[in-house]
Amino acid sequence: MILAINMNPAIDKVYAVDDFKVGEVFRPRDMTATAGGKGLNVARVACLLGEQVIATGLAGGSTGRFIEEEVKKQGIDSQFVPIQGESRICINIMDEKNVTSTEILEPGPTISEEECEAFLNKYQKLLEKCDVVTASGSLPKGVPEDFYRNLISLANEKGKKFILDTSGKYFEEGINEKPYMIKPNKDEVSKVIKESLSHMDDYIKAVKTFQAQGIMLPVISLGKNGCIAALEDGIYHFTTPQVKVINTVGSGDSFVAGCAVGLSQGRNFIDVIKLGMACGTANTQFFKTGMVSKELVDKFFAMIEYEKIEGI
């Protein structure tokens, strides 16, 4: 069972607009509205792969009700904690003709101390039902910066595998508690270690540092160039096949979902990363955010390449 945490969920609206320009009026040729936020993308993809998934976080107002209803329709167990504020709406304008993506992200509601406490109480009960926990994205206003760190600590106490996918202060605080897996990009790592990363040697040094700190499966995302991962026996570079991209939004979340499924199934680390990358690649083939098909995932899984670039 996978527990997917999305503390600041949203309705994700994607508009397809060719030749998008600022200051003009457009009528999109297509649009979708889904229960979104990074954690819900994770939950959706894991569910599409056939896993049992619980989605939790904070949800409020009419937007929150829409999110919970959509989550349930997808076959995901919705266990959101109700709040007084209104959950947010996020907009993505996809210009496929010019291969651009413009995002407008609402900040979301302000959370009270009592609402934070209510979530922690619920979270500790939900931990009993799962073996892998994912926490994705930013935290809403009012939630302390060390909140993910506390969630990781509680998961570690119960022997649950925790995948942390966030940035900034939330990431810096979280890694101090040794989550099982992380997947920052090179810019996020640079901000934490206070060094620029531009060469393979830099990435190798960074994942080895995370591994030495006690993070079991540190990964650095390199975008179209794949990822670097520190496994038990060395440092590996994984690459994906070249595909015609329809929409990249949600590919990082799909990667997390694939890794969570692999860990929950007890797969070896190489296959865990391959499954994550296959999900991330499959997501690029859909207009809808955080979407895969099992057939495409299986196809791309067989096409993921990897090499050991340094032994331990």
φ/ψ region of 161 (left if φ > 0, alpha if ψ in -120 to 50, else beta) reads beta
Rounded to the nearest 10 degrees, how much is the dihedral formed by the CA atoms of 195, 199, 201, 205?
30
What pLDDT score does 312 carry? 65
Side-chain-facing half-sphere of 272: CA atoms under 13 Å: 27
Phi, psi of 213 (to 5 degrees): -75, -10
Instruction: Enter the DSSP assignment of 223.
Output: G
Q: What does the alpha-carbon distance between residue 238 and residue 228 come to, in Å, rounded to a whole number?
A: 6
Q: Kindly list the structural domains of the chain, giving each domain's residue range(s) and its CATH number in brackets, ordered by start.
A: 2-311 (3.40.1190.20)
Residue pair 151/5 in contact by the 8 Å Cβ criterion: yes
Q: Cα angle vertex 182, ends 184, 217, to 5°? A: 130
Q: What does the alpha-carbon distance between residue 113 and residue 34 come to, in Å, rounded to a whole number?
A: 29
Q: What does the alpha-carbon distance between residue 100 and residue 108 come to, in Å, rounded to a whole number?
A: 25
Q: Tell which residue, 49, 17, 20, 12, has the closest CA to residue 30.
A: 17
Q: Tell which residue, 287, 292, 285, has the closest CA to residue 275.
A: 292
Instruction: Enter the DSSP assignment of 99.
Output: T
What pLDDT score does 15 carry? 93
Q: Which amino acid is at 308?
A: K
Q: Tell which residue, 287, 310, 312, 265, has the closest CA to residue 301.
A: 265
Q: What does the alpha-carbon distance between residue 85 and residue 69 come to, in Å, rounded to a whole number?
A: 18
Residue pair 176/78 in contact by the 8 Å Cβ criterion: no
Q: List the chain residues with pLDDT less than 70.
A: 312
121-157 exposure pattern, b = at least 16 Cβ within 10 A, e = fewer: eebeebbeebbbbbbbbbbbebbeebbbbbbbbbbbe
